[in-house]
Amino acid sequence: MRKFGLIAAIVGFGILASDLLLRVLSHFSSWLSLPGILLLTGGSALYLWSRVQASAPTSPAPKSPAVLGTDTARLLDNYEQRFAELKGRKPNATVLGDLYALGTQLETRGRVPQATAVYRHLARFDTTYRDVGARLKRLMDAERAKPKAGSAAAASSPPSPGAPPPAARTVAEVPEDQRLGRYQLEREIGRGAMGIVYLGRDTAINRLVAIKAIPLASEFSDSELAEARVRFFREAETAGRLNHPNIVTIYDVGEERGLAYIAMEYLKGRHLSDYAPSNNLLEPRKVLELIGRTADALGFAHKQQVVHRDIKPANLMYDASTDVLKITDFGIARLTGAGSTRTGIVLGTPSFMSPEQLEGRTVTGRSDLFSLGVSLFQLLTGQLPFTADSMTGLMQQIAEAPHPPLRAFRPDLPACVDSIIDRALAKSPDARFDSGAQMAAALNDCRARMPSGPP
C-alpha cells in the first residue's frame, strides 16, 4: 500500500506540474512544441521518483538457508537410525569412512557417549583406522575421569547453559556401589571392544571371578536391543555348557542397570598376544603344543555346535607357571544386532577372520580353524599372513591372495609346519582340516618330529 501511495502522489504532482508548465510556457509556444513540453514534464517526474526510491527505507533481502552443515545436523539428529544402518552394512572402506565421519561429528557436537559407541564399533573392524584408537582412548579416559554423580565435585559443577542433558550410562563403567548382581567388583583388569573385564568376588561363596560387563544399550539401537539381549543370554548359556580343560568356565550371566555381564573363571597368566611380537616369541615346539591344545578344545566345542568366531592370540590365556591354557570369550562374537544378522556379519577381528566370515556367509567350525592358522603363523613369525592399508584391501588379501610361505620367515622350521599352515589357511573351507581334532593330531605329529629344545 505504501508503494502505491507514493506512485499516486508522484502522478498527481506530475499533473499539477504539467498544468503549471503549460500555463507558463504558453507564452513561449513559438519556440517550444508540445512533445518537448511532455518530455520535460516526464523527465521531472522520473527524477522525483528516483529521489523517493533512494530515500525510502529498504528491508533486508531474506537470507537463503545455509547449506553448509545441513546434512551434518540432520545426520546427528537421526543418530540412532544412521548408526543402526551403518552397523547393518558389510564393512568396507566406505562404511568405515562413514562411521568415522559420524563419530567425529558427534564428538565435535559434545555427544561423547554416542561418539564413543561409534568409535568402538569401528574399532572392532579396524583398530588402526586413521586415529580412531587415539580418539576412543581419549574419550574413554575422559569418561573415567568424570566425578561420580552426587559427589562434591559434581555438585559444585552445574552444567553450562545449553549443554546437552546427561546421557545414560553408555560405557561399561564400574557402578557406583561397586556391585553387579551378587558380585563385588574389585578392579578393572581388562578392556576390549565389547566391554570391560573386572576382577570380582562372588559374595555368596567368596570366590574370585572375572566379570565381563557389556553395555548392550549403547551397542545396539532400540529396535535391535531386545534381540541382542535374547542372543546374549542364549549364547552365554550355550558357552556355559562347554566343559573342557582348555575352555574358560562360565559361572553366571545377568543384566543390571543397562549392563549385561558374564561371570567366569578368573584366570592368571598372559594372553598369547604378548608372545606375538617378533622379539618375544615362544619356542616353536611350545607354540605347536599350545595351538594343538587349542585345536582340540575347538573340536570339542564344534561337536556341541558352538563356533567361537573370534579366535586370536588375545583370546588365548596361558599361565606358564602352571602350564594352563584357556580359550576365552566363547559366545561374545555372536552378539550382533538385527541389522547385522540380516547381512550375516558377526563381530570379530578382521586380520584373523576367514574369507567366508568376512563375506558374511555361513560359518562353521572350519572358520575357527582358519583363524587358528593365522594365530599359529603370527606366533611363529611375529608377522600376520595378511596385511593391507585399508579394510577393503585386507578383505581382498584374505579372500584372494596366497599367504607368504612360513619358511620365508622361519627357514629353521620343518616342512610339516608349512603344510599345516597351508591347509589351515586354504581359501575354501572344504580344503581345510575336517575338525579341530584332526588339526591337533597334525600339530602333535609335526612337533614330535622336531628336535627337542627348551620347554
Active site residues: 310
Mean pLDDT of the region 193-205: 86
pTM over 0.85: no
- pLDDT 10s digits, 142-161: 765 654 433 333 333 333 33
32: confidence class by pLDDT, cuts 50, 70, 90: very low
- SS3 per residue for the chain: CHHHHHHHHHHHHHHHHHHHHHHHHHHHCCCCCHHHHHHHHHHHHHHHHHHHHHHCCCCCCCCCCCCCCHHHHHHHHCHHHHHHHHHCCCCCHHHHHHHHHHHHHHHHCCCHHHHHHHHHHHHHHCCCCCCHHHHHHHHHHHHHHCCCCCCHHHHCCCCCCCCCCCCCCCCCCCCCCCEECCEEEEEEEEEECCEEEEEEEECCCCEEEEEEEECHHHHCCHHHHHHHHHHHHHHHHHHHCCCCCCECCEEEEEEECCEEEEEEECCCCEEHHHHCCCCCCCCHHHHHHHHHHHHHHHHHHHHCCCCCCCCCHHHEEEECCCCEEEECCCCHHHCCCHHHHHHCCCCCCHHHCCHHHHCCCCCCHHHHHHHHHHHHHHHHHCCCCCCCCCHHHHHHHHHHCCCCCHHHCCCCCCHHHHHHHHHHCCCCHHHCCCCHHHHHHHHHHHHHHCCCCCC
- pLDDT 10s digits, 35-45: 555 555 555 55
Q: Which of 71-85, 145-159, 168-182 has the lowest mean pLDDT?
A: 145-159
Q: Which CATH architecture has domain 270-455?
A: Orthogonal Bundle (1.10)
pLDDT at 231: 79
Q: What is the CATH class of 76-143?
A: mainly alpha
Mean pLDDT of the chain: 76
The answer, yes or no, to whether residue 48 has pLDDT greater than 90, is no
pLDDT at 429: 97
The answer, yes or no, to whether residue 65 has pLDDT greater than 90, is no
- pLDDT 10s digits, 228-241: 788 788 877 878 88
The answer, yes or no, to whether residue 225 has pLDDT greater than 60, is yes
Does 270-455 match 76-143 at the fold level?
no
Q: Which of 67-71, 244-248, 337-341, 439-443 has the lowest mean pLDDT?
A: 337-341
- pLDDT 10s digits, 310-363: 999 999 999 999 999 999 987 665 543 333 333 333 445 789 999 999 888 889
Domain boundaries, given as residue ranges, for the chain: 20-48, 76-143, 270-455
pLDDT at 27: 57
